[in-house]
Structure 1
Amino acid sequence: NETEKPSGEKSCLLHGLALIGVRSVLGIENVSGSPFNIQRSLRIPNLTYDEVGKMFGWYEKESGQKVEPDVVEKLFYETRGQPGLVSWFGELLTETYNKTPEKPVTMRHFDYAFRMAVKALPNNNIINIISKAKEEPCRETVLKFFRTDQKTGFAFDDPLLNFLYMNGVIDTEETDDDLYVRFSSPFVQKRLFNYFSRELFPEVGRVTELFEDLSDTLTTDGLHVGSLVRRYEKYLRKNRDWLLRDAPRRKDLRVFEAVYHFNLYEYLRRFLGNKNARVWPEFPTGNGTIDLIIDYEGTRYGLELKSYSDERAYRESLGQAARYGKSLGLSVIWLVVFVEHIPDEYRKKYETDHIDGETGVTVRPVFAATGG
C-alpha cells in the first residue's frame, strides 16, 4: 500500500485513466481484446458518501483549505455521487468560484455555485441528458415521471426506460416488492424541471392587473399561500385556452399532470419576481413528490404539490407533507392539491388544517381546480 508515500517514492504512477460511458464501459475487463467481448461490461457505480468525503479530504490536505461538512453532504445529496457531477461541483467550489482560498468553503459558496450550475453553466453531462429527455418518444415518458399520484415501475426490457437509464436520465428505486423509476439525482431533476417549465411556458401572460390590490396575499405578516393559490386558480381559468393550447397531452387528450406544476412554478416566479422573493423546486424522493420552496421577506414557505386521486392517497399525502415540513424545520407546510373540479362542499371539507400527530407540523391543504 503506497497511498501515503510521496510520488517520488512510489514504484508505479498512474498518470491518467479515461473511462468513456455514462453507465458502463464495454469490454474493459477483457485483457485479450477478444472480438467476442461485446457482451461484457464494467459497471460504473456512483461514488459513496464516504468516497466523496475522502476526495474533499485529499483536497483539504493538499491545499490547506477547509471544506465545511455541510457542503460535502449537500453536494452528495444533489448529485447522488454521480462521478462527473461530483467532480464538476468540486471544480466549481475549489477553482472557478474559490475567490478566498485562505478561508473555508461554506454553504454560502455552495449555494452560489449551485445556482450558477442550475441556471447559467454548461455541462456536457447535463446537455446530453436534456437532449435525450426532450425528444420524442422519450419526452412523453419523462413527463410522466413528474407525476405525483403514483410511481412508474421500472423494467429493463422496456426500450425507452432502458435508453433513459443507460443515458443517465433515470435510476432505479428498489422497494420490498418492486422496482421503480426515479430521476438519477435531484440536480438532474431540477435541470429537467427548469427546462420543461421554460420550454412549455416561455410566456405566462399578465399575472396581476394594474393597480390590483394584493393585500390579501402579500400581507403585513408575510405571504398568504392560500390566497396565492386562489389567485393562480383564477389566472389559470382565465388564460387556460391559450396557455394550454399546445401543451403535451396523454392519449385520452388530458393535459399531463406535470404541465400544471410547471405552470404554477412559472406563475409564482413571475408573481413574486420583483418582491424580494425567491422560488425554487425540490425533489426529496426523486419520484412521486414535487415541492416548491418560497423565501419571502426572510421567511421560508413550503408547498408540496399533489394531484388528487382518492381519499386514501390524500390522507397519506397529509402525513408525507408533514414529514417533509419537519425536515425543512417548518411548523407549517402547505399541501397544494390539483384536481380537475371540486364542488364547494368538498373544498370546505378538505381545506381544513391537519396537525400531524407524529411530527407536530400543521399541514394546510388548498385545492387548485384545473378545469380539465
Structure 2
Amino acid sequence: MPKFFNTAGPCQSDIHYTLPTGDRLPQLEKLIAQRNYFVIHAPRQTGKTTAMLTLAQELTASGAYTAVLLSLEVGAVFPHDPGAAERAILDEWKQSIKFRLPENLYPPEWPDTNAGSMIGTLLSNWAKKASRPLVVFLDEIEALSDETLISVLRQLRSGYPNRPQGFPHSLALIGMRDVRDYKIAGGGSQRLNSSSPFNIKVESLTLQNFSLADVKNLYKQHTEATGQIFTPEAIERAFYLTDGQPWLVNAIARQATEVLAPDVATPITVDLINQAKEILIQRQDTHLDSLAERLREDRVKAVMQPILAGQDLPNVPNDDIQYLVDLGLCKIDNGQGLEIANPIYQEVLPRVLSYTTNASMGRIESRWLSDKGELMPMELLEAFLGFWKQHGEPLFKSTPYPEIAPHIVLMAFLHRVVNGGGTIEREYAIGSGRMDICLHYGKVILAMELKVWREGKRDPLDEGLQQLDKYLSGLNLDTGWLVIFDRRPDLLPLSDRTTTEIATSPAGRSIIVIRG
C-alpha cells in the first residue's frame, strides 16, 4: 500500500510516513516502569497523539502492560457539569477501547456512580482486576475547564496513592500546555497558575521538533518507497523553513510531492520546496489558521507586538512568554533570545495581522508593472506614496496591533503588489529596533528597512542607514528603501508630512528615505 505525508490528525503507520516514538520521547518507558504520573505538553500537530497511540500499542503488544490512549475532549461542552462531562467521556472511552485493546483487556465494568467520581471509579476498578499493570494516557486535557477540569484532576490525585493495584500503574496528561496553564474560570479567562490539583506529576515533558536527521529520515522513507529523491539542499531548506515543526515538515513535502512534482522521476529541489512554502503561506491551512487566532489574545499581543516592532520586551510575566513557546508561536534561542518559531510563521503572522487592512484598501491599480509584467521600483514608490498619503492614516484603525499599525498598512500594500507574482521575506527580532523586508518580483529584488521615531528618541536616520547597509550587503544590493514612521505626538497629518529624499549610507549606497 502506498504511503503519504500526513497533515490531518494522528498518523497511521500503514499509510503514513512516521518516525519511531522512542526516538522522540526516549525517557517515557523509564518513567512508566517507575510508576510515575507525568505531563506531556507540546503545540498542536507536533505528533503528541500519534506518539502516544503508538507507544500504547507497543506497550500492550509487549505483554508487559495494558496501555491505552483515551481522549477527554468530549467533556469540553460541560465545563460546569462534571457529571454530564464524565458520562460523555466514559461513553467515548467505551468506543475507543473496543478499537484499541483486545477484548480480554477491557475494563471489567462501567460504573454507574455519583457525579465527580465516575472516572476515578472506572480507573480504580480496572486497575484492581487487570491482568497486567494499567497505563493510561489522557489526551486533550486542556479541552476541559472550570469545575469539570478540577473534578477530573482531583479524582486522579485522590487515586494516585492506590497505584498500581487500585489505580493505574502510570498515567500521563497530554495537551498543549502544562498543568498550571489550564483554564478554570468562566469563559476560560483565568488559569490554575498552580500544579496543586495534579501535584503528583513527576515530570512535565515536551515533544521537541524534528531534528535535521529526523527530516532526512522521514523524507528518505518516501524516496525508498517511490524512488523520488529529495536533494540534500532541498532537505536542508525544508528544515530551515520549518525549524522541524512536524506538521510543516509533512505539509511542505506533501505539496512538493503530490502537487508540484507528482511524477516520481522529478527530484524535489530547493526551488520546489520554496514553491511549496509559498503555497502553504497563501493557503493558511487549518494549522496556520489556529495559530493566527491566538494573535488577538491579550497575553499573546503583549509579547508579539514588540517582537514585530523590534522593540525590547515590556515587563510581561514569565508565564506569558512560556505560553507563546508552548503554543509553538515562539522559541527561545540561547543566542538570539525570544523569536518567532520558524521562517514560515514569520511570514504567516504579519499576513494574518494585515488581512483586515488589506480587505479595507479597495482596488489599487498596478501602475508599478511594465508592459512586459516587470516590476518598476520608481513607479512602485510613486504608487506607494500616493496610497500612503490618501489612505495610510485611516487604515491605522483597521489593525489589531496599534503599536505597529504603520508596518501593517505598508505590508498590506506590499501584499497587493506581490499577489500572484512575487514573494515577501521579513526579518524582525526583539531589541533590533527594526523590521527588514525583501520583496522579490521576477528578477527585481527590493529591500527596505522599517524604523520608528518615537517620542523622546533621536531621529533614527543614522542608525537606520547603518543597519540597512548590513542588510543590503547580505543581499548583494546597491540600493534600498529606509522607511521611517514618525509616531511622535502632535504632528501634521500624514498627507502633509510624508516626504522622500536620497541619502548616502556609510558604505556609500544610495538610499531612498521615506518619512511619514
TM-score by length of 2: 0.53
- Is 1:151–2:312 an aligned residue pair? yes
1:182 aligned partner: 339
CA distance in 2, matches of 1:245, 1:277: 28
Higher mean C-alpha deviation, range 56-65 or range 166-175: 56-65
Native 8 Å contact 2:339 2:430 kept in 1: yes
Q: Secondary structure at the match of 2:503?
A: coil
2:358 aligned partner: 201
Q: Secondary structure at the match of 1:151?
A: coil
- Is 1:282–2:426 an aligned residue pair? yes
Deviations 1:185-219 (A, max 9, x none): 121121111111112331213545xxx9x6xx668
CA distance in 1, matches of 2:251, 2:430: 21
1:134 aligned partner: 296
CA distance in 2, matches of 1:113, 1:71: 11
1:252 aligned partner: none
1:3 aligned partner: none
CA distance in 1, matches of 2:458, 2:236: 37
Structure 1 residues 102, 228: CA separation in 2 closer, same or farther (over 3 Å shift)?
closer
- Is 1:105–2:257 an aligned residue pair? no
Deviations 1:170-196 (A, max 9, x none): 112334xxx742111121121111111
1:164 aligned partner: 324
Which amino acid is the alignment partner of residue 387 of structure 2?
Y
Native 8 Å contact 2:447 2:481 kept in 1: yes
| Equivalent residue for 1:33, pick from 170, 174, 179 | 170
Structure 1 residues 224, 338: CA separation in 2 closer, same or farther (over 3 Å shift)?
farther
1:354 aligned partner: 505
Which amino acid is the alignment partner of residue 305 of structure 2?
L
Paired positions, count:
330
Structure 1 residues 43, 312: CA separation in 2 closer, same or farther (over 3 Å shift)?
farther
Deviation at residue 111 of structure 1 after TM alignment: 2.6
Q: Secondary structure at the match of 1:172?
A: strand
- Is 1:232–2:384 an aligned residue pair? yes
- Is 1:262–2:408 an aligned residue pair? yes
Deviation at residue 311 of structure 1 after TM alignment: 5.3
Native 8 Å contact 2:356 2:399 kept in 1: no
Structure 2: where are the runs of 5+ without partners? 1-18, 26-39, 53-135, 138-167, 172-197
1:327 aligned partner: 474
| Equivalent residue for 2:446, pick from 301, 304, 327 | 301
1:60 aligned partner: 223
Native 8 Å contact 2:450 2:483 kept in 1: yes
Sequence identity (%): 19
Equivalent positions of 1:242-261 (< 5 A) are: 242-248=394-400, 255-257=402-404, 259-261=405-407
Higher mean C-alpha deviation, range 295-304 or range 159-168: 295-304
CA distance in 1, matches of 2:357, 2:277: 24
Which amino acid is the alignment partner of residue 270 of structure 1?
R
Deviation at residue 286 of structure 1 after TM alignment: 8.0
Q: Secondary structure at the match of 1:338?
A: strand
Deviations 1:117-139 (A, max 9, x none): 11125243x23311222334534
Higher mean C-alpha deviation, range 50-59 or range 130-139: 50-59
Deviation at residue 38 of structure 1 after TM alignment: 2.6
Structure 1 residues 15, 365: CA separation in 2 closer, same or farther (over 3 Å shift)?
closer
Native 8 Å contact 2:231 2:267 kept in 1: yes
TM-score by length of 1: 0.71
Native 8 Å contact 2:332 2:339 kept in 1: yes
Which amino acid is the alignment partner of residue 313 of structure 2?
T
- Is 1:318–2:465 an aligned residue pair? yes
Higher mean C-alpha deviation, range 65-74 or range 226-235: 226-235
**Structure with more helix by fraction:** 2
